[in-house]
């Protein structure tokens, strides 16, 4: 393999918790890559933006990419993700939760109900996947939106569209919330102890796009990256498996980011340990043996992302001593 490109969001923790959370972690390979790799700033600060840039997708048009993977045809329309969510009132905050779990039939019933209500309005809802819904529009609504991953676990009020058309869409979402409330499909969710779907989160809009096949294959735990790979007709799997003949492989490890969004630092520790064992350890050994020519490690952070480039020759820079991961804590 000539090149292994690794992407991992939320590897560096805030200084307020980094020392305690990272205590006792053995991350020999990862810390060596961070210490001896050539570092530079990255202009993207989220996995969604990174994937769009890497696959040649303009802006943040996630919806027309993932709908291809979900079996829909983009056609000549504007598409938004309209993901089912649960909004939880906590004092003066409205916290967005994504851990809703409608069945396929329940999702279809809710979308059919919305389509019946909004018939003739130039928009149509689709639910090819129970947790990934889409809104088809005749025209670009001119909205700047925020990813559902960015907003998960946060006060959603700060992430609503602020453009001139924003008030219209605030009213539309309020209308959708009223329609979802008390629907029999939602009552079925509640009856089995699941969170109700009391809103939709609109994001990732754009027109039809054909993602570039920028890598030979994808490995990792990222569901979003897997959808990009599927849309680009690129082989993908969680485990590395057989990489013989692969020139340019992409590895995306998203478990740390998911844990941070939930505030679950035990899960973060488990994920970074898995990353060391399943990814960085084998890749560093392959680099040392000459089986891999170059490793690129992109650490994506909302506060500022960094890229580390490492070749076999750079491993001999022993004066660059490895430091504990906690020392990279974001200020």
Bridge-based pairing of strands 93-97 and 123-129 is unpaired
Work out whether the CA dihedral 142, 147, 148, 150 comes out positive or negative: negative
Question: What proportion of the chain, given as a percentage, has pLDDT over 90?
Answer: 66
Mean of all residue pLDDT scores within the chain: 90
CB atoms within 10 A of CB 87: 18
Tens of pLDDT along 84-95? 999 998 888 999
CATH 3.40.720.10 fits 3-57+211-328, yes or no: yes
Tens of pLDDT along 136-184? 999 888 888 999 999 999 999 999 877 666 778 888 999 999 999 888 8
Tens of pLDDT along 92-137? 899 999 988 888 998 999 999 999 999 999 999 999 999 999 999 9
Tens of pLDDT along 266-303? 999 999 999 999 999 999 999 999 999 999 999 999 88
Query: SS3 helix, strand, coil % of the chain, rounded to 5?
Result: 40, 25, 40
Phi, psi of 153 (to 5 degrees): 80, 5
Q: What is the mean pLDDT of residues 14-32?
A: 93
The 8-class DSSP code of residue 212 comes to -
Question: What proportion of the chain, given as a percentage, has pLDDT over 70?
Answer: 96
First to last CA, the chain: 36
Lowest-pLDDT range of 1-15, 235-249, 302-316: 235-249
pLDDT at 330 over 80: no
pLDDT reported for residue 192 = 80
Bridge-based pairing of strands 38-42 and 217-220 is unpaired
The 8-class DSSP code of residue 155 comes to B
Tell me the CA distances in angstroms from 312 to 20, 111, 150, 292, 307, one per residue in order: 33, 53, 36, 8, 17
The residues facing 237 across adjacent strands are 219
Q: What is the mean pLDDT of residues 255-273?
A: 93
Q: How far apart are CA 114 and CA 199, in angstroms?
A: 12
Tens of pLDDT along 195-241? 889 999 999 999 988 888 889 999 999 999 999 999 999 998 876 65
Where do the structural domains in the chain lie, given as residue ranges? 3-57+211-328, 63-207
């Amino acid at each position: 393999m000539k090149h292994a490109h690794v992407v991992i969001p939320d590897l560096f923790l805030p200084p307020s918790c980094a020392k305690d959370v990272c205590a006792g972690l053995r991350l020999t390979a990862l810390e060596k890559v961070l210490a001896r790799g050539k570092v530079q700033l990255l202009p993207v600060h989220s996995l969604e933006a990174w994937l769009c840039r890497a696959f040649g997708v303009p802006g943040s048009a996630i919806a027309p990419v993932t709908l291809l993977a979900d079996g829909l045809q983009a056609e000549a329309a504007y598409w938004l993700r309209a993901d089912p969510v649960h909004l939880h009132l906590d004092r003066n905050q409205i916290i967005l939760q994504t851990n809703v779990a409608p069945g396929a039939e329940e999702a279809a019933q809710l979308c059919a109900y919305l389509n019946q209500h909004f018939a003739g309005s130039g928009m149509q809802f689709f639910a090819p996947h129970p947790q990934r819904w889409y809104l088809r529009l005749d025209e670009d609504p001119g909205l700047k939106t925020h990813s559902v991953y960015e907003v998960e676990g946060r006060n959603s009020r700060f992430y609503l569209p602020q453009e001139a058309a924003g008030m219209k869409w605030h009213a539309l979402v309020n209308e959708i919330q009223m329609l979802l409330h008390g629907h029999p499909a939602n009552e079925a969710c509640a009856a089995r102890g699941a969170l109700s779907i009391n809103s939709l989160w609109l994001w990732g809009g754009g027109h039809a796009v054909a993602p570039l096949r920028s890598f030979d294959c994808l490995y990792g735990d990222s569901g979003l990256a897997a959808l990009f790979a599927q849309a680009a007709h690129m082989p993908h799997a969680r485990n590395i498996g057989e990489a013989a003949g692969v020139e340019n492989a992409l590895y995306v490890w998203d478990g740390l980011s998911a844990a941070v969004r939930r505030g679950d630092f035990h899960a973060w520790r488990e994920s970074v340990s898995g990353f060391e064992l399943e990814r960085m350890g084998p890749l560093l050994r392959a680099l040392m043996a000459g089986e891999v020519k170059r490793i690129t490690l992109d650490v994506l952070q909302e506060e500022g992302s960094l890229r580390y480039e490492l070749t076999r020759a750079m491993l001999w820079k022993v004066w660059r001593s490895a430091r504990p991961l906690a020392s990279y804590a974001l200020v």
